[in-house]
Amino acid sequence: MAKELILKEGEVDARDIVPINRQSFRDKLQAYLHKPFSFLLLILVAIATFATAAVVVGIVIYVLWQGVPHLKPELFSWRWTIDNLSLMPSLINTLVISLISLLLAGVIGIFAAIFMVEYAKSTNVFVKIVRMAAETLSGIPSIVYGIFGMMFFVDEDFLGMGFTLLGGALTMTMMILPLIMRTTEEALLAVPDSFREGSFALGAGKLRTIFVIILPSAIPGIVSGVILGFGRIVGETMALVYTAGSAFNIRYPAGLMGQGCTLTVYMYSLISEGSGYSNQAWAIAVVLIILVVIINGAAEFIGNKLKKEY
Amino acid sequence: MKEEKTILQTEAQISEGGGELAVNKKNIVKELLMKILFIIAAAIFIAVVAVICVYLFVLAVPTIAEIGFFEFIFGSRWLPGNELYGLGTLIVGTSYATACALIVGVPIGLLVAVFMAFYCPKWLYKVMKPVVNILAGIPSIVYGYFGLNVIVPFVSRTFGGGGASLLATALVLGIMILPTVISISENALRAVPKSYYEGALALGATKERAIIKTVFPAAMSGVVTSIILALGRAFGETAAVVLVCGNIAQFPDSLLDPIRTLSSNIATGLAYGTGLHRQALIASSVVLFVFILIITAIVMVLRKKKR
């Protein structure tokens, strides 16, 4: 039983005092009813957020619901045949293209970012043009990359390689360059200047400072940028249909100079073939979504967990 | 043995000391070489853009000259069989689709951005942020297939017609631009100094009023940037649009009419087009490219203003 408070004259029970910065739910409701506009906005914000979350969950669940029953083991067999319609060759093609593009774009993007952050002054004209170029590259639609890649790598006029995984990989390299440069730049900028000053003070040269001090500290940000680039490649369709080739050659994983389709392109081809292949298309959609979730999760995990507190 | 080792070590030290100059020289050369490598890496960005620009324009200009510039841009009939290459209907279709997608996506995106920046408790933010990232990561072909199997039948059942229409395209694109609008606007809203918001609250404004009247105007350039980037994404989107737009080159009279966009025209035509048809498709990709250049320029100007 609660102890009864005996108040002397002039004393107030502290429990009855409502702090002015605390509002009860009723107070809030009262305030909102006086301001219908604010109340309306609050409700709209809630509805929009709920709708967005519902759309994401809806899409993911719908794809899983349609696709998971068709994720049969024969879909993952090494050889493609007309009976099993295996997605394995296209999965391997995707990984091959990703590996080459990430290697190339990784080196170029990271080096360019080092130049932009560690060497150049931001007022430099060259730097401004590079920034403009990066901005332009990140805005170009994938179909335009596809057309350019087709004319540059595939067609007779210039390199004339025909449809090759290499052509697709080079096209993708151009596409993810700005992403990798931007994330690396952000990661480098997040390294405090005291690290650089300390390193210089100990007599290390600029190069040594960059490779021994700055890059290791910026690694989580850089890696998560590269992983996001991987996600971009996995999800790309139109830049690859006309550079790496569509599903004409899916019997076995293509070599670097052979033509082959990636997962998305394979899915696109199956959809274009008509509704007869919808089961396989949904199964590929499931694989794609699983890949995207894993990739996003990995990027986030590495970006957050490995980040040291400076 | 031990003595020998120390002698060897001192010898090594001496020789190192003697060669300090040489080592320094080597370092300087190495530093310079790497610096040049870094500059080359940065220059590759410019080179790539330049090559894409020059290559596309060199190939497109003769084609456009052959068809006739006005005929090409404003001609309202795209009939490769009859040697008629007018982008009019396609440009109108793309513009309508983009505008409708913005009408669908931008208000919702901005409201969610407000939620993420001002209302979201920390635990919910840890869920919402990955959700938005997944929305950004889902491949466009999956959006397209989802649209084809869910949104198109839905439109057809609710409003009649074939379903594959301007409305279906707008809905799919509207969902696809959400993450762009949300994440960039959220960052812009967060970048506004807290004192603006708190000052407005202290003057007696409600939370919502403070956000609308003080934070939003301060974050305007970032918010506009997010909308323009979303516009660029919607304008160039191909893989999803090609499946849900209906692919009929015409001026749409209503939301339920099928349309064809520039990008979907390229994607479908390129598979079989030859000769002038193919050239015209390549030239129409230059129209897309020029449009994106304009958008990029606007974004650059906005960024400058923000600083």
Question: Among A107-116, A270-279, A281-290, B95-104, which is the least confidently predicted range?
Answer: A270-279
Q: Are B226 and B303 in contact (CB under 8 A)?
A: no
- Range of the structural domain that residue B144 is part of: 87-306
A·B CB contacts under 8 A: 240
Q: Which structure tokens are listed for B143?
A: 């959006």
Q: Give pLDDT, residue B160.
A: 77
What residues contact A235, with CB distance under 8 A and at least 6 apart? A264, A288, A292, B137, B138, B139, B140, B141
Nearest to A132 among B206, B239, B300 (CB): B300
pTM comes to 0.85
Residue of A nearest to B206 (CA): A38
CB atoms within 10 A of CB B276: 15
Q: Give pLDDT, residue A250.
A: 58
Q: Are A238 and A143 in contact (CB under 8 A)?
A: yes
The verdict on a CB contact (< 8 Å) between A55 and B135 is yes
* Same domain as B154, residue B58: no
Nearest to B115 among A31, A49, A108 (CB): A49
> Does residue B243 sit at the A interface (CB-CB below 8 Å)?
yes
If one counts the domains in chain B, the total is 2
Report the mean per-residue pLDDT for chain A.
84
* Same domain as B279, residue B184: yes
B:74-93 residues touching chain A, CB 8 A cutoff: none
Interface test with A, best of B138, B146, B183 (most A CBs within 10 A): B138
> Does residue A212 sit at the B interface (CB-CB below 8 Å)?
no
Q: Are A257 and A249 in contact (CB under 8 A)?
A: no
Q: Give pLDDT, residue A3.
A: 59
Residue of B nearest to A114 (CA): B38
Domain residue spans of chain A: 25-68, 76-305
CA–CA separation, A275 and B75 (whole Å): 35
- Answer yes or no: is B10 within a domain: no
Q: Give pLDDT, residue A204.
A: 85
Q: Quick check: helix, strand or coil at residue B84?
A: strand
The verdict on a CB contact (< 8 Å) between A136 and B293 is yes
Q: Give pLDDT, residue B19.
A: 52
CA–CA separation, B50 and B58 (whole Å): 12
For residue B253, give the CATH number of its domain: 1.10.3720.10
Q: Give pLDDT, residue B10.
A: 46
CA–CA separation, A138 and B284 (whole Å): 20
Find tokens 């500290």 and name the residue.
Answer: A217
Q: Give pLDDT, residue B185.
A: 93
A177 versus B3: which is more confidently predicted? A177
Q: Which structure tokens are listed for A200?
A: 């210089």
Query: Residue B20's Cα: distance from chain center in Å?
Result: 52
Phi, psi of B272 (to 5 degrees): -125, -10
The verdict on a CB contact (< 8 Å) between B289 and A140 is yes
Average pLDDT over residues A204-210: 87
A:227-256 residues touching chain B, CB 8 A cutoff: 231, 234-238, 241-242
Nearest to B142 among A47, A114, A288 (CB): A288
Q: Give pLDDT, residue B14.
A: 47
Average pLDDT over residues A159-163: 74
CA–CA separation, A119 and A106 (whole Å): 19
Amino acid letter, B11: E
**DSSP per-residue letters across A244-260:** T--TT--SS---TTS--
The verdict on a CB contact (< 8 Å) between B48 and A174 is yes
B:250-269 residues touching chain A, CB 8 A cutoff: 263, 266-267
**DSSP per-residue letters across B223-265:** HHHHHHHHHHHHHH--TTHHHHSB---S--SSTTS-B--HHHH
Q: Band of the pLDDT at A309, cuts 50, 70, 90?
A: low
* Same domain as B205, residue B114: yes
Interface test with A, best of B31, B35, B145 (most A CBs within 10 A): B145
CA–CA separation, B230 and B233 (whole Å): 5
What residues contact B158, with CB distance under 8 A and at least 6 apart? none
Calculate how close chain B gets to A8, using CA atoms only, in Å: 36
A:97-116 residues touching chain B, CB 8 A cutoff: 107-112, 114-116
- Answer yes or no: is B11 within a domain: no
* Same domain as B147, residue B33: no
Q: Band of the pLDDT at A248, cuts 50, 70, 90?
A: low
Nearest to B44 among A108, A147, A300 (CB): A108
Q: Give pLDDT, residue A288.
A: 92
pLDDT digits (tens, 9 = 90+) for A47-83: 999 999 999 999 999 999 988 888 887 777 777 777 7
Chain A residues with CB-CB distance to B137 below 8 A = 231, 235, 292-293, 295-296
* Same domain as B190, residue B42: no
Average pLDDT over residues A271-283: 83
The verdict on a CB contact (< 8 Å) between A264 and B132 is no
**DSSP per-residue letters across chain A:** -PPPP---TT---GGGPPPTT---HHHHHHHHHH-HHHHHHHHHHHHHHHHHHHHHHHHHHHHHHHHGGG--GGGG-SS--TTT--SHHHHHHHHHHHHHHHHHHHHHHHHHHHIIIII--TT-HHHHHHHHHHHHHHHS-HHHHHHHHIIIIISTTTT---S-HHHHHHHHHHHHHHHHHHHHHHHHHHS-HHHHHHHHHTT--HHHIIIIIIHHHHHHHHHHHHHHHHHHHHH--HHHHTTT--TT--SS---TTS----HHHHHHHHHHT-GGGHHHHHHHHHHHHHHHHHHHHHHHHHHHHSPPP-
Q: Give pLDDT, residue A31.
A: 76
The verdict on a CB contact (< 8 Å) between A264 and B239 is yes
Q: Give pLDDT, residue A23.
A: 67
* Same domain as B246, residue B184: yes
For the packed helices B166-191 and A36-67, what is the interaxial angle rounded to 10 degrees? Answer: 120
| Homologous superfamily, domain A76-305 | MetI-like (1.10.3720.10)
Q: Are B236 and B288 in contact (CB under 8 A)?
A: yes
Chain A residues with CB-CB distance to B200 below 8 A = none
CA–CA separation, B266 and B160 (whole Å): 28
Amino acid letter, B119: Y
Q: Give pLDDT, residue A203.
A: 85
Q: Are B76 and B148 in contact (CB under 8 A)?
A: no
- Evaluated on CA atoms B43, B49, B55, B58, the torsion sign reads negative
> Does residue A264 sit at the B interface (CB-CB below 8 Å)?
yes
Closest CA to B174 of A139, A52, A238, A53: A52
CA–CA separation, A243 and B156 (whole Å): 35
Q: Give pLDDT, residue A306.
A: 58
A:43-82 residues touching chain B, CB 8 A cutoff: 44-49, 51-53, 55-57, 59-60, 62-63, 66
The verdict on a CB contact (< 8 Å) between A52 and B119 is no
Interface test with A, best of B33, B103, B141, B286 (most A CBs within 10 A): B141
Counting as low any pLDDT under 50, the low residues of chain B are: 1-18
The predicted complex's ipTM stands at 0.84
CA atoms within 13 A on the CB side of B284: 33
* Same domain as B278, residue B148: yes
Q: Give pLDDT, residue A59.
A: 93
